[in-house]
Structure 1
Amino acid sequence: MSKTILVVGTYDTKEDELGYLAKVIQRQGGKVLTMDVSVLGDPSAPTDVSKHQVAEAGGNSIQAAIVSGDENTAMQIMARGSAAKAVGLYRDGKIDGVIVLGGTMATDLALDLCAALPVGVPKYFVSTVAFSPLLPPDRIPSDVQMILWAGGLYGLNSICKASLSQAAGAVLGAARAVEPPKRDRPLIGMTSFGKTVLRYMVDLKPALEARGFEVAVFHATGMGGRAFESLAAEGAFAAVFDFAPQEVSNHLFGGLSAGEDRMTSAGRAGVPQLVAPGCYDLVDLIGWQPTPDSLSDRPVHAHNRLLTSVVLDADERRQVAATICDKLSNATAPVALLLPTGGCNEWDRPGADLHDADGLAVFCDEIKSCCPDAVDLHVLDCHINDQEFTTAALKVFDFWLENGTVKAG
């Protein structure tokens, strides 16, 4: 149960606070490795990883950071170096988790450092701007934990110690309790939403498990897509069933984006892709914020107090179709695109509140027109939630199993 936590921060200005974090971890039986990401100043005692080593790990030097004369440039040098150094320490088995402490500077760095570590490595940051709108969703690592550093801008006090001690216990406890992802069965990555709107995973998951695969279903509301893309980029998936690429629409029209790279990582990594346009016609917005003027005249589905979906018009659907096809055109492994012409979410069935037959027809026509030659297009006379869709998906997947496109366990 002896675990080592990497404690990261600017030791020239936050030495007392970082030292307190380390002592709490050590009092609980953990070990600590310290990393200094300062630029101008020096700590009173050497850290395990010096600021010079950090800068060099990013292909630069502290002198270059200082000479730049710009704090943003300097901190990006340290961000690159700290990420590279942390990954190296983890791969060498020297750390089991990481915690970063600081204000906006260290938080900016923490986003890069934590994103560089694999999913399953405990990663925490204690920040004066945790949960703030300053943090863009497309930079937040998929499995990071944030704790607000209340009352901690300058110096130790009883208020900030409460935050720091919880954070120290949390990262050490996570390092002790975590079950890292196993690789005993090939993994299928699938995107979806809850069963009220998309249902294919109910049948697909057990069917794929019966074929010897593990299935991970990602909730495609921004952060879920980020996790999906991160694992796809690592080559963690034997294949993907990317049937809820709504985050592409979100990114285009100001919704809950998973970033510009959504729907590209599997293709770049050579992972076979089964793709369908689940919920392509919706843009998910933050329910408690005003609807943007550009989308204010649309049919709306208030899913709950957090999430509201608005419907795209015909021209916007054309743009989504063209964007999906463009993204798939760069894939380096086989892609099958399933196009259910009867609808792509439960709310757009005939008679449902968000049904738009004309808009659906426009989207389908654009997909047929733009689909790259290398993509295997399957036009299906059914709805995405019908059994026929699931059957068609499994038929493609079984063909890939037979011809070796997808490797069984």
Structure 2
Amino acid sequence: MPDKTILIAGTYDTKDAELAYLADVIRGQGGGVLTMDVSVLGDPSQPTDISKHQVAEAGGSSIQAAIDSGDENTAMQIMAKGSAAKALELYRAGSIDGVIVLGGTMGTDLALDLCAALPLGVPKYIVSTVSFSPLMPPERIPADVQMILWAGGLYGLNSVCKASLSQAAGAVLGAARAVEPPKRERPLIGMTSFGKTVLRYMVTLKPALEDRGYEVAVFHATGMGGRAFESLASEGAFAAVMDFAPQEVTNHLFGGLSAGADRMTNAGAAGTPQLVAPGCYDLVDFVGWQETPPQLQGRPSHAHNRLLTSAVLDADERRLVARTISDKLQGATAPVAVLLPEQGCNEWDRPGGDLHDAEGLSAFCDEMRAACPGIATLHALDCHINDAAFAEKALEIFDGWVAEGLIPQG
């Protein structure tokens, strides 16, 4: 008997041979396979375990409706919705342990929805002709998806594309065998931050929270890290969040490395208590090896490494960030504490630092005080975000919420 079963999804009317090859490799390694056809017009050479008709019905429609739409985009969105629903149904029933989806742009569009429907910890592999492409916005990419470029695989099997297909088949089966899903044995705290060169509070906060009996996951807020944070927040996975690096909100406003328009909204919508601070609010991240975007040219900047450079906002732009953060907190359905370190919000903006701007910092703090929503309690702190006093205040508020029963005991 196979130890793990992998769902294989794709358009069997056009990629029958390639999908069959994936199945052969998985079975050859001792795994099991369930097949799902997401095509619309044609039929597979052999019946699949989940037919295209079942997929369309799971999406609240039918194959005939997809055909009658006369539009391939509309048709594939029907199949995307259905395949996502069907994959989640199979996972919850214990029928599958992982998924692999094969496609070009159409199949990849569908694959992102299908994989996003499955919880973190379920192995998800996409074999695509556009893997790692900017065609995929951050908000569409599931937190723990894996991708491999389907090199030379646009039309038919060959030795080049078999190298990609066989790796992906082995990887998803191996992942299903090796994965250690989140256990949720202790209440989970979600924290956003950057490396210790710019933000340091997690060095104090993580062990302090763990000593209190909590598990702490720190997310690198450079686009995809924030996307993973928001994905889990939307599921209600966190007992509380310490969202102290909302720079991706700034990035989304000014064309930097965005984590999506819903950044800083999902914890509040899920009823999760939030401690919020404006770490690196004044910086816009962009790809360091590319030409500086026109809207960021001529500004003070810091080259963090060859991949990442950060440009500084002016005073008016900082006021906009303050209002935007405040607007995002308006929808919270649980307590919100805003910690406002009035001496600075990243290591580079200290007096004498490369990016210090006292006027800009003052403008932000003034706007934050004025715009902070009524649902939130603002704590103005006479310290820098990297000072011990900041972490101490965060723990004081956290402990108070635990004592009040707003956060479960660790």
Measured against the shorter chain, the TM-score band is: over 0.9
- Counterpart residue number, 2:228: 227
The answer on 1:84 being equivalent to 2:85 is: yes
- Counterpart residue number, 2:322: 321
The 3-state SS of whatever aligns with 2:35 is strand
- Counterpart residue number, 2:76: 75
- Counterpart residue number, 1:305: 306
- Counterpart residue number, 1:267: 268
The answer on 1:392 being equivalent to 2:393 is: yes
Q: For the residues of structure 1 that align with 2:136 and 2:408, how far apart are their CA atoms?
A: 39
**Range with greater deviation from structure 2 (117-126 or 129-138):** 129-138
- Counterpart residue number, 2:245: 244
The answer on 1:354 being equivalent to 2:343 is: no
Q: For the residues of structure 2 that align with 1:269 and 1:70, how far apart are their CA atoms?
A: 36
- Counterpart residue number, 1:3: 4
Q: For the residues of structure 1 that align with 2:6 and 2:354, how far apart are their CA atoms?
A: 52
The 3-state SS of whatever aligns with 1:86 is helix
Shift of 1:365: 0.3
The 3-state SS of whatever aligns with 1:208 is helix
Q: For the residues of structure 2 that align with 1:396 and 1:122, how far apart are their CA atoms?
A: 37
Which residue identity does 1:42 align to in structure 2?
D
Shift of 1:137: 2.2
Alignment of 1:111-130 (within 5 A): 111-130=112-131
Post-superposition CA distance 1:3-61 (Å, at most 9, x none): 00000000011010000000000000000000000000011111011111111111111
- Counterpart residue number, 1:286: 287
Post-superposition CA distance 1:322-348 (Å, at most 9, x none): 000000011000000000000000000
- Counterpart residue number, 1:96: 97
Which residue identity does 2:65 align to in structure 1?
A
Shift of 1:138: 2.3
The 3-state SS of whatever aligns with 1:336 is strand
Q: For the residues of structure 1 that align with 2:264 and 2:134, how far apart are their CA atoms?
A: 25
Q: For the residues of structure 1 that align with 2:328 and 2:71, how far apart are their CA atoms?
A: 36
Shift of 1:294: 1.4
- Counterpart residue number, 2:195: 194
Which residue identity does 2:118 align to in structure 1?
L
Alignment of 1:138-177 (within 5 A): 138-177=139-178
The 3-state SS of whatever aligns with 2:339 is strand
Q: For the residues of structure 2 that align with 1:136 and 1:273, how far apart are their CA atoms?
A: 26
Give aligned-pair identity as a percent: 79
**Number of residue-to-residue matches in the alignment:** 409
Q: For the residues of structure 2 that align with 1:131 and 1:399, how far apart are their CA atoms?
A: 44
**Structure 1 unaligned residues grouped into runs of 5+:** none
Q: For the residues of structure 2 that align with 1:367 and 1:28, how far apart are their CA atoms?
A: 58
Q: After TM superposition, what 4+ stretches of structure 1 lie above 6 angstroms from structure 2?
A: none
The 3-state SS of whatever aligns with 2:309 is strand
Which residue identity does 1:143 align to in structure 2?
D
Q: For the residues of structure 2 that align with 1:59 and 1:112, how far apart are their CA atoms?
A: 15
- Counterpart residue number, 2:372: 371
Which residue identity does 1:274 align to in structure 2?
L
The 3-state SS of whatever aligns with 2:122 is coil
The answer on 1:331 being equivalent to 2:323 is: no
Post-superposition CA distance 1:131-171 (Å, at most 9, x none): 12222222111111111111111111111111100000000
Which residue identity does 2:125 align to in structure 1?
Y
Post-superposition CA distance 1:56-78 (Å, at most 9, x none): 11111111100000000100110
Q: For the residues of structure 1 that align with 2:385 and 2:163, how far apart are their CA atoms?
A: 49
Q: For the residues of structure 1 that align with 2:346 and 2:306, how far apart are their CA atoms?
A: 20
Q: For the residues of structure 2 that align with 1:230 and 1:135, how far apart are their CA atoms?
A: 16
Q: Tell me how large the CA RMSD over aligned residues is.
A: 0.7
Post-superposition CA distance 1:182-212 (Å, at most 9, x none): 1110000000000000000000000000111
- Counterpart residue number, 1:37: 38
Q: For the residues of structure 2 that align with 1:374 and 1:171, how far apart are their CA atoms?
A: 44
Shift of 1:307: 0.5
The 3-state SS of whatever aligns with 2:401 is helix
Q: For the residues of structure 2 that align with 1:84 and 1:312, how far apart are their CA atoms?
A: 43
TM-score (norm 1): 0.99
The 3-state SS of whatever aligns with 1:146 is strand
Q: For the residues of structure 2 that align with 1:95 and 1:259, how far apart are their CA atoms?
A: 30
Which residue identity does 1:221 align to in structure 2?
T
Which residue identity does 1:316 align to in structure 2?
E
Q: For the residues of structure 2 that align with 1:379 and 1:355, how far apart are their CA atoms?
A: 19
Q: For the residues of structure 2 that align with 1:315 and 1:97, how far apart are their CA atoms?
A: 48
Which residue identity does 1:281 align to in structure 2?
D
The answer on 1:214 being equivalent to 2:215 is: yes
Q: For the residues of structure 1 that align with 2:127 and 2:272, how far apart are their CA atoms?
A: 36
Q: For the residues of structure 2 that align with 1:81 and 1:278, how far apart are their CA atoms?
A: 40
TM-score (norm 2): 0.99
